[in-house]
Chains A and B, each alone.
Chain A
């Protein structure tokens, strides 16, 4: 059975699994965190502790997409609205009841050395297994010189990290904001300041939408709104990219707790494959509750069995060096789309996507003879639609007519609805396979056999230095 225990993360943090709750509403109180641990979460980053704040109502808004709720989520809630004493008293109790779970204290206080020294000492005394410095909160706190106001200035981030490290006995993680042109600059600063690890990413500045009746953006606070922090499934690709950037850069690479749109075991596996040591989850729990961790743990376990991985270290970071600069990609790698006629349902979305969004190489004219080549050879989508509208259709009212109308041909779909790929024109862009609603119907088939790889870098280098044996 695979072992998904995390040992010595960022130095000394132990966690029975890599699934942590991010510092957010699901980790607001000790009672909540204990329920989360009972449900199976390995660790929890406490909702940011600092001087208690006053929140507004409402606080959240979301982006739905085609009927699916919360594709993206946005909040304007601040750090904990409970006193430091209350939070730390509960933290001690949580550690007493759940000694094997990781409890990380997220901290944010005003930018002076004494304040940071004091909070660090108090939280570690309460039993925190590690500290996470919240340099990322993009709304409200940043207006008071904290959160992303620190995280956007490398010098401040380094300075505060140094202050914290002067006192800290447990690992110190710095949580990075994505609201900066290059996230690595602050990662490097944190590393220079002595951080033991990083968490990334925090939420992304956002306005999720505007109410078209009241003209007020959401969330509406008495007729006004404020930019919030965006998270949820929509941000995962952005987070993955930033995680890759940080971990590929030797000056910023540190043990990393990955955050951003994680809600399933697949999401978690992807962050681990890029090199994260743990992952943090918030939005998915706010949507469905702590119970989602069961499938995350089971799914990861199943996948590891299937792949033959015994521990997380067996696959952690495996995909990191698969990301490279564009100039190192093989220009001679060539794939073309292939449509499985037995699976095609005849929606023809690949056809219109290829015509209107790609390179005009998926056609419906197979039955009139295979004509390969340039766009001018083919009927346009508009011509095809006009033809359909001009055709006379009748209700099949007799049994005989119905039998004819629904007669089964060689494929499940009538042949004239099954598109075909002109492989001479196909550029292998993937678009058709992405729009196809049927699993495995459109596959991309490799066709560049016996051609040596060549990258842009190779090509330009060859041009810059013509091959002259004497100079080599």
Chain B
């Protein structure tokens, strides 16, 4: 089955029904009317891309939906997917002043989605910029949110941008890595199409992995933006990790979203307790696994997953095993995987094994999901782009790296945050690149 054909799979849609239904038109207007229209609004300040939230909400109230959508896109070109995937509890909705008045924040995400759904369904397009207002050419490596935002911003301001990605489809984790009940791959691809119409050129299935390919890019472009995302998932570093039946969380998510993984059964053990781990555990349940364990070294209080994600996983029937650390992966007699674990306790900030607590979980699939680490060795070695703690070192406000030709943003710089953070990073880099280019050519 081809990747593209899998994107609108009926079975997939039925299993991964959207978590939150859209607002009906009048419900949206009632909610929009509830917004106080704060000055210099805290929701806008909390949003990494600083969407003018009261601005787009009041446009919904006045039935100016086109204006509302353009207001969103002006700040965040991935406004449609962010409306679905943002952890708004800790961003705009968490900052809403209503939390301090009648306690229920404005449903900003659903309103944003309402405006963006209108934009798509009515066939609206973004106003095109005059091409060539800037002569600068930029290559954006990696096809995820950071590169998309950087390239879109450049093209909207009249520069030229090319997005280069090793996968068949652009969109990065938006296409391959977000739980299907939050964002469908087809919606991500549609968003990419809008960016293409702004004038962004896409080169897919192209790997930039050698000195030669870097040199070729440098010859063809004035600046290079690194929106590499995170590289391979971090390894567990335990015996048996290479066994068949071990598949990391992002692989699992990409496999079911592209239709390559349709059914699971038996028991699945997910190692880790972050948001991606939860996406993988929920997916395992929906794909048919009867028992899904999340195995985490620390306690409930220390897991990095958002509260609403944790609640969601519990509702899906995921079981949590706290203070357990995997030590090896083996096989039992009938040939099932055995995830061998041991209880750990924290003493003086260090985890230590509790003797005599060894136990094994017989399972059919082991899913490591304990954080991700970037793969950027090449740049460090060849181009002086500094890497620290596995992250590219770049200026926070501009994304500029140690090498003036290279800018960077998104997960490869921030170590793994949200789509909206990547968009903000890409946008800031685009503006910094244009500023530098203008200064150079002035």
Contact = CB atoms under 8 A, between A and B. Distances in A.
Interface in A381-429: 381, 384-385, 388-389, 391-399, 402, 405-406, 412-413, 417
Nearest to B97: A345
Contact of A349 (B39, B45, B50, B91): B39
Interface stretch (B126-134, B205-213, B233-241, B413-421): B413-421
A346 interface: yes
Interface residues of B, number: 40
A188 interface: no
B40 A67 contact: no
A394 B304 contact: no
A201 to B, nearest CB: 30
Please name the 3 residue pairs, one residue from A and one from B, whose CB atoms are nearest each other, closest first: A67-B33, A352-B39, A345-B100
B396 interface: yes
A217 B188 CA distance: 44
Interface string A346-360: 111101100000000
A438 B101 contact: yes
B114 interface: no
B181 to A, nearest CB: 20
Contacts of B304: 397-399
B377 interface: no
Given A346-B97, A381-B40, A388-B50, 8 more contacts: A67-B29, A67-B61, A349-B38, A389-B50, A392-B424, A395-B48, A395-B420, A412-B100
A342 B418 CA distance: 33
Contact of B97 (A347, A352, A388, A405): A347
A305 B320 CA distance: 60
Nearest to B33: A67
A373 interface: no
Contacts of A347: 36, 38-39, 97
B17 interface: no
B44 interface: yes
Interface string B61-73: 1000000000000
Interface in B36-56: 36-40, 42, 44-48, 50
B384 to A, nearest CB: 25
B417 A395 contact: yes
A414 B247 CA distance: 45
Contacts of B47: 393
B90 A346 contact: no
A385 B272 CA distance: 41
Contact of B46 (A66, A381, A385, A393): A393
A308 interface: no
Nearest to B37: A349
B40 A348 contact: yes
A219 B34 CA distance: 28
A365 to B, nearest CB: 13
Interface string B403-420: 000000000001011101
Nearest to B38: A347
A394 B414 contact: yes
A437 interface: yes
Nearest to A417: B42
A8 B45 CA distance: 64
Contacts of B145: none
Given A389-B50, A399-B304, A346 B42 contact: yes
A7 B348 CA distance: 85
Interface centre among B39, B303, B418 (most CB of A within 10 A): B39
Contacts of B101: 345, 437-438
A413 B40 contact: no
Contacts of B94: 405-406
B195 to A, nearest CB: 22
Contacts of B421: 394-395
A435 B40 CA distance: 16
Interface residues of A, number: 32
Interface string B317-343: 000000000000000000000000000
Contacts of B14: none
Interface string B286-307: 0000000000000001111000
A394 B48 contact: yes
B302 A399 contact: yes
17 contacts: A67-B61, A346-B42, A347-B39, A348-B39, A348-B40, A384-B40, A392-B48, A392-B424, A393-B45, A393-B48, A393-B50, A395-B90, A395-B420, A397-B416, A406-B94, A413-B97, A437-B36
Interface centre among B40, B45, B87, B418 (most CB of A within 10 A): B40
Nearest to A384: B40
Contacts of A388: 40, 44-45, 50
A378 to B, nearest CB: 14
B61 A66 contact: yes
Contacts of A417: 42
A351 B39 CA distance: 8
Contacts of A437: 36, 101
Contacts of B396: 392
Nearest to A382: B40
Contacts of A389: 44, 50
Contacts of B25: none
B30 interface: yes
A67 B30 contact: yes
Contacts of A402: 90
B410 to A, nearest CB: 12
A347 B97 CA distance: 6
Nearest to B46: A393
A392 B101 CA distance: 27
